[in-house]
Copies of this chain bind each other. A is one copy, B any other.
Amino acid sequence: MRKVFYISDGTAITAEVFGHAVLSQFPVEFDALTIPFVETQKKATEVKQQINDCFITTGERPIVFHSIVKPEIRDIIYSSEGLDYDFLNTFVAPLEQQLGMCAVPALHRTHGKANESYETRIEAINYAMDNDDGQTMKHMDEADLILLGVSRCGKTPSSLYLSMQFGIKAANYPFTEDDMDNLTLHAALKRNKSKLFGLTINPDRLHEIRQSRMRDSRYSSLRQCRMEVKEVEMMYRKERIPFVDTTNHSVEEIATKILEVTGLKRHMF
């Protein structure tokens, strides 16, 4: 299995995301190692040695994705036996020309805390936690978005992702079995109608998920899952609440779809 190094003087998360996206185009597996915080020449020299040792052991030049800002550190990694993919700098030079200005590389700019919107993000995460699963209706007026849906359709991971990745204050509210006889919107939801977004899910998949939580209960029965999904979807249609089916989608896809439909502004961190 070909060895891959993700190296950075910061968290290496950008290097990972980028390298993972590139390598996922190839139909093979890779053996990846992430080395963050390579901030000194000493550490860079150790990493170079590690890359070179790996070449000697495997007989194949390791693939290296790095995002290192300081030239004196970067040059040490360059001088290793690794195959260097310097994805940041490849694009900086042409952009300098286009923008008519020089880049001013700074450490920790993307995943650091310098960003003034960082507090917005932490507030959004705390908001999503405090307003998960309808545990309180007191703060619904402060929400940017309120996700609705039956139990285990994906509300919690979606709210958390929206807050973490995009700084959106997302509450979520469950419809439970007790609501099913007379499915109406709570007053706090009604007066925030423009913020409502529904999630739905294939009843067979819901049954599977609920079975793994509470096997052979009424809650997890296919009949109950079918009924709840049907009732809730009817309500979405009646109330004209936009909704998305989570069955075959990741949290990234669900979150992106919601942003697309609602036009909510995303922060970037």
Cβ-based interface call for A17 (8 A): yes
Nearest CB to that of A269 among chain B residues?
B250
Given known pairs A14-B18, A160-B125, the reply for A63 and B101 (CB within 8 Å) is no
Chain B's closest residue to A111 (CB) is B252
Q: Are A26 and B104 in contact (CB under 8 A)?
A: yes
Give the CA-CA distance A37 to B109 in the complex, in Å.
28
A217-255 CB contact bits vs B (8 Å, 1 = yes)? 000000000000000000000000000000011111101
Interface residues on chain A, size class? 35 or more
Separation in Å of the A58 CB from the closest CB of chain B? 14
From A255, which residue of chain B is reached at the shortest CB distance?
A: B11
Q: For the complex, what is the distance from the CA of A61 to the CA of B95, rounded to whole Å?
A: 12
CB-CB contacts of A94-118 with B at 8 A, as 1s and 0s? 1100110101111011111101001
Nearest chain B CB to A152 CB, angstrom units: 9
Docked pose: A112 CA to B253 CA in angstroms: 7
Known contacts being A20-B110, A260-B36, A268-B20, is A103 close to B160, with CB within 8 Å?
no
Q: Are B250 and A118 in contact (CB under 8 A)?
A: yes
- Please list the residues of chain A having a beta carbon within 8 angstroms of any beta carbon in chain B: 2, 10-14, 16-18, 20-28, 32, 34, 36-37, 61, 63, 67, 83, 85, 87-88, 90-92, 94-95, 98-99, 101, 103-106, 108-113, 115, 118, 122, 125-126, 129, 132, 156-157, 160-161, 164-165, 248-253, 255-257, 259-260, 266, 268-269
22 contacts between A and B (CB under 8 A): A11-B252, A14-B18, A17-B18, A20-B110, A20-B268, A22-B92, A24-B106, A25-B106, A25-B109, A26-B101, A34-B259, A34-B266, A36-B259, A37-B256, A37-B257, A63-B95, A85-B95, A112-B249, A125-B156, A125-B160, A126-B157, A129-B156
